[in-house]
A and B are shown apart, each in its own frame.
Chain A
Amino acid sequence: MSQSHRHVVIIGNGISGVTCARHLRKMDEGVRITLVSGESKYFFSRTALMYVFMGHMKFEHTQPYENHFWEKNRIELKEAWVEKVDFTRKSLVFTSGEKLGYDSLVIATGSKYNKFGWPGQDLPGVQGLYSKQDLELMEGNTRENVRHAVIVGGGLIGIEMAEMLAYKKIPVTFLVRERGFWNKVLPKEESELVGRHIREHHIDLRLETELKEILSDDEGRVAAVITSKGEKINCQFVGLTAGVSPNIDFLRNTDLKVNRGVIVDEYFSTNLPDVYAIGDCAEFEKAPAADRRTIEQVWYTGRMHGETLAYSLCNKPVPYRPGVWFNSAKFLDIEYQTYGTVPADWDENQFKNFYWEHRGGKVAFRMLMDLEGKILGVNNFGFRLRHEVLDQAIRESWSGGKVMARLEHANFDPEFFAPYYIEIQEAFKAEFGGHFHPSKKSFIQKIFGAKV
């Protein structure tokens, strides 16, 4: 164990900052670690805020570590908002006027939700959903007298917000600029699958429709929106979910080099010595891999950033080398996972594409392959796949046939669930051939298992 007495201050106690702090402590007994957050004293899982709103959990359930964890691991928690950073004196200035010195500074301030200058975007009753404070605001905004709500922007937070409002039995109109739900990420079929499911939940999904203006009532609260199609929709709540961007306004116009986010290299170093940035607020000079963006705004990448930087801060610098991409989400009742590279669109002449959809329209599997038939990535909806197997398959460029041959092993659904993999294997074999035999139902599965 290396020992040091320097003071590492981390601004932000989200998954990136907390992972960094935890790994720092694991590797260095002596370093002094301070986590700064004005949002919440204790780390919580941001992705779980919706469940608090819907009564699935209490806020304390979203906290992955018990409160004594931090003291036990000597991670100091500073509950404060940072107003500015004095990079020359190596000191933080809090809104209270208080100061805190550091030897190394990690900026992990996450994101804020986008507003695109819509008229009326700051009216009471109009909000996004990112922070704990946003959740509390939303609870207040939807407590009473909301007869209709409009959500603007078709991404993951938008559909979460729609589900939250549906819990309150508030009818929702969901405005999506694109031709399909989340179709900058999802291919057409998957986007349509989710779109159908949104409508099945009685959410009024309006594709190719943008927000033009938000109108207020006499008391100055939101009363209606005007869409790009000129329609006026009366509503008492507007959710702004058109993406997020790095939360770094307090760092603009300083010596720190920023663009959309804080500019970092592959070691998460900024242009200033002893200052690093990780998570949603970091912007790489160069994308970490061909299929990755310069700003990574996903839980998993935040965690990897934090782990990698901690290693660099304690040992010899380690460049950020993410492995095979993966992600997941849940669209109302339909689970989604993705492994490797499946873009929203591709050149049919450059790739082989296999898509299977269950006749019920809620379960789907896509595998994208190169021209030699080697796997590049998969999307799976409505059933679960084993990360370990898909990671290995993509890393080792298995042929599509080999992936199919091992699909039963890759299946991660609970016991007795419908063996969709058999239909998938049969469909693949019919389309591409291959030297494998589709799996057979076991005796137990035939008697007790769910039907495909």
Chain B
Amino acid sequence: MRVVEKFGLGLFLIGLAAFIIIPFIGTYSISEELVLANTKEIHQQKMTEILAPMYGQNYSSNFAFLSAFGENFDSYNESLKDQQLWDQVIWDDYSFALALAGLKSPVRENPWIFFMLSIGLAVVGGFLYNFRQHHNEPAGIKNNGIFHSSLKNRGILGMLTGTFLIVFYIGLYWFPAYLVTLVWMVSPISELLSGNPASQWFLYGLIYTLAILVMGVRMFRKYRGNKYQQLRTASVMFFQTAFAFLIPEILVLLNQPYYDFKNIWPLDYDFFYDYQISTFLSSGGVGMFMLIWGILLIIVGVPVFTYFFGKRWYCSWVCGCGGLAETVGDPFRQLSDKSVKAWKYERVIIHGVLVLAVVMTAVTIANYFSGFSFLGNVTNQLHSFYGFAIGSAFAGVVGTGFYPFMGNRVWCRFGCPLAAYLGLVQRFKSRFRITTNGGQCISCGNCSTYCEMGIDVRWYAQRGQNIVRSSCVGCGVCSAVCPRGVLKLENGPEENRIHDLPIIIGNDSIKINV
């Protein structure tokens, strides 16, 4: 490792350490005014009573504060539950809002300093580490040492990285109250963009975008000389930064609904939820445009673009989940399971999620128009189940946390309902295929090994068969790592796209394929 890389890595690790420590810096105290300001009107009276024992107390850490909060709050709710007084139970979780409001911390006083010390250093360090990789070498893709790497081959570093990511996601989704210091830290940036203080989702979006940008630089270096990879990486960096991060914030600044113009139902599973629909309908022309745009993407955009280009137009060029997988996740792509068994699970699970998403949305829409109370109940149950199991646990915790264990496309491969929908179009009505170059395959296995979707590319290539698979996201890495020039991603006539009886060119002895 050269000096600049070592220096970069050092900075990154310091930034990461600071990021891990920062949530624990600060003390917490709440008052009646604060509770009043952060609770809904119907709960104000009760909450001020419940939390009264906490007023004036100074809690030295988020753990102390949240455990005190939990004791007071839960004992109130539990007793109501024991008495079956369901309608008096407070279902809202105020822990995040109150922790956020009650924090006293140098981080809150000087957010920029701590931001530079943590995320800032990590970004600068990551950039320094990446931006000159391979600069002394001729252009060409090197997967040197990947399976000798602890991080990239499920060694101890891989385990640690995966564990860190899983813990972070669990905190983000279910225990954000522990992360309020970090939220304060990025709040000035949120104020700059949207004029509003940050939420945990702003924190997440910011880290997510920066991670894609820094690791995008790594992609540019790693795939030097491969224009397809370069363009695709630039594309996901652009769509994440502009469409997923900046535009929604700026829309909020302009008093418009928060909206990611490239997010498509059913990945965007709450698109048809009643609060979304009412937001669209109550936001005039812009809201109406968003609603129509979103529906057009589903019924026209997906089939048409996928017909012409395959699902890659979305999955590896536009999508945010894909963007993270293709940049931050690229070092882990070789960990996907290529077995036939995994493929069987994949088909059942991903189409199961698609069916669930469709059913849930159908019920939601039916409920929206009928207002039937039973249906309303079912809708709420479905929403909370889907949000918990699919939206958070699967897409987030497993989807990203499992990068170092099962590769970078676990969510896209096994879970994403939009990928399932795109895949059905790609499989049955598309011009896209990966062409096998006659008889040139030597069965080396590089293509299969580096397929992030776990497609056994070699199985097809060595038989001289085109690869037409619903799961292929068209990342092009199989083609890039092939040492014999066998694979090419192509859009072409549907005729002969799928051949069931391939002939390997070169042997005239046997004219009929038997």
Q: A25-61 interface mask toward B, CB cutoff 8 Å, 1 = contact, 0 = none?
A: 0110000000000000000010110010011111001
Among B174-182, B386-394, B476-484, the one that faces the other chain is: B476-484
| Cα(A79)–Cα(B38), bound, Å | 73
| Cα(A215)–Cα(B327), bound, Å | 50
Among A232-240, A383-391, A432-440, the one that faces the other chain is: A383-391
A311-B231 contact, Cβ under 8 Å, with A48-B445, A58-B147, A387-B439: no
Among B19-27, B420-428, B500-508, the one that faces the other chain is: B500-508
Contact A307 B445 (CB under 8 A): no
> Of residues A57, A304, A326, A413, which shows the largest number of chain B Cβ atoms within 10 Å of its Cβ?
A57
Q: Which residue of B lies closest to A327 (CB)?
A: B440
User: What is the CB-to-nearest-CB distance from A45 to chain B, in angstroms, rounded to a whole number?
Assistant: 4
Q: Which residue of B lies closest to A26 (CB)?
A: B514
| Cα(A145)–Cα(B29), bound, Å | 63
- Does chain A have a CB within 8 A of B444? yes
Q: Which residue of B lies closest to A304 (CB)?
A: B507
Contact A55 B483 (CB under 8 A): no
B residues 448-473 in Cβ contact with A at 8 Å: 448-449, 458-459, 462
| Cα(A321)–Cα(B440), bound, Å | 18
Contact B505 A337 (CB under 8 A): no
Among A96-104, A204-212, A368-376, A414-422, the one that faces the other chain is: A414-422
A384-B510 contact, Cβ under 8 Å, with A64-B445, A412-B437: no
A residues 9-27 in Cβ contact with B at 8 Å: 15, 23, 26-27
| Cα(A139)–Cα(B146), bound, Å | 16
Choice from A55, A412, A449 contacting B147 with Cβ under 8 Å: A55
- Does chain B have a CB within 8 A of A62? yes
**Chain B residues whose CB sits within 8 angstroms of the CB of A303 once the complex forms:** 439, 504, 507
B residues 81-106 in Cβ contact with A at 8 Å: none
Q: Which residue of A lies closest to B438 (CB)?
A: A387
User: What is the CB-to-nearest-CB distance from A303 to chain B, in angstroms, rounded to a whole number?
Assistant: 7
- Does chain A have a CB within 8 A of B48? no
Contact B506 A51 (CB under 8 A): no
Contact A55 B509 (CB under 8 A): no
Contact B449 A322 (CB under 8 A): no
A416-B444 contact, Cβ under 8 Å, with A55-B147, A66-B340: no
Interface size band for A: 35 or more
Choice from B148, B440, B443, B483 contacting A326 with Cβ under 8 Å: B440
A415-B507 contact, Cβ under 8 Å, with A48-B446, A56-B449, A333-B139: no
Contact A333 B509 (CB under 8 A): no
Q: Which residue of A lies closest to B480 (CB)?
A: A414
A416-B514 contact, Cβ under 8 Å, with A64-B443, A337-B485: no
Q: Which residue of A lies closest to B437 (CB)?
A: A387
Contact A414 B506 (CB under 8 A): no
Choice from A26, A197, A304 contacting B509 with Cβ under 8 Å: A304
**Chain A residues whose CB sits within 8 angstroms of the CB of B339 once the complex forms:** 66
| Cα(A323)–Cα(B514), bound, Å | 18
A64-B227 contact, Cβ under 8 Å, with A323-B507, A412-B485: no
A414-B340 contact, Cβ under 8 Å, with A57-B445, A64-B458: no
| Cα(A416)–Cα(B507), bound, Å | 33
- Does chain B have a CB within 8 A of A332? yes
| Cα(A249)–Cα(B376), bound, Å | 81
Q: Which residue of A lies closest to B514 (CB)?
A: A27
B residues 23-56 in Cβ contact with A at 8 Å: none
Interface size band for B: 35 or more
| Cα(A303)–Cα(B507), bound, Å | 9
Contact A335 B484 (CB under 8 A): yes
A51-B446 contact, Cβ under 8 Å, with A167-B144, A303-B504, A322-B506: yes
- Does chain A have a CB within 8 A of B381? no
| Cα(A51)–Cα(B340), bound, Å | 24
Contact A56 B485 (CB under 8 A): no
- Does chain A have a CB within 8 A of B371? no
| Cα(A301)–Cα(B231), bound, Å | 38
**Chain B residues whose CB sits within 8 angstroms of the CB of A55 once the complex forms:** 143-149
Q: Which residue of B lies closest to A298 (CB)?
A: B442
Q: B130-151 interface mask toward A, CB cutoff 8 Å, 1 = contact, 0 = none?
A: 0000000011100111111100
Q: A73-111 interface mask toward B, CB cutoff 8 Å, 1 = contact, 0 = none?
A: 000000000000000000000000000000000000000
**Chain A residues whose CB sits within 8 angstroms of the CB of B444 once the complex forms:** 45, 47-48, 51, 62
**Chain B residues whose CB sits within 8 angstroms of the CB of A167 once the complex forms:** 144-145
- Does chain A have a CB within 8 A of B488? yes
- Does chain B have a CB within 8 A of A320? yes
**Chain B residues whose CB sits within 8 angstroms of the CB of A250 once the complex forms:** none
- Does chain A have a CB within 8 A of B228? yes
| Cα(A385)–Cα(B440), bound, Å | 11
- Does chain B have a CB within 8 A of A299? yes
- Does chain B have a CB within 8 A of A319? yes
Q: Which residue of B lies closest to A197 (CB)?
A: B138
User: What is the CB-to-nearest-CB distance from B171 to chain A, in angstroms, rounded to a whole number?
Assistant: 34
Choice from B227, B231, B490, B509 contacting A308 with Cβ under 8 Å: B509
- Does chain A have a CB within 8 A of B226? yes
User: What is the CB-to-nearest-CB distance from A427 to chain B, in angstroms, rounded to a whole number?
Assistant: 22
Contact B147 A56 (CB under 8 A): yes
Contact B514 A415 (CB under 8 A): no
A57-B138 contact, Cβ under 8 Å, with A337-B485, A384-B485: no
Choice from A66, A308, A384 contacting B507 with Cβ under 8 Å: A308
- Does chain B have a CB within 8 A of A328? yes
A448-B485 contact, Cβ under 8 Å, with A45-B443, A320-B509, A326-B439: no
- Does chain A have a CB within 8 A of B489? yes
**What are some 7 contacts across the A-B interface (CB < 8 A)?**
A26-B514, A197-B138, A307-B507, A323-B506, A323-B508, A326-B506, A332-B140
Q: When A and B form their complex, which 6 residue pairs have the shortest distance between CB atoms, in order from nearest?
A: A387-B438, A333-B140, A384-B485, A48-B444, A55-B148, A416-B227
Interface residues, chain A, CB within 8 Å of chain B? Answer: 15, 23, 26-27, 45, 47-48, 51, 54-58, 61-64, 66, 167, 197, 200-201, 299-300, 303-304, 307-308, 311, 318-324, 326, 328-330, 332-333, 335, 337, 362, 384-388, 391, 412-418, 448-450
Apart from A167-B144, A415-B228: 20 A-B pairs, beta carbons within 8 A: A45-B445, A54-B145, A55-B143, A56-B147, A64-B443, A64-B462, A307-B509, A321-B509, A322-B506, A322-B508, A323-B506, A323-B507, A324-B506, A329-B483, A385-B485, A412-B437, A414-B226, A416-B231, A418-B227, A448-B227
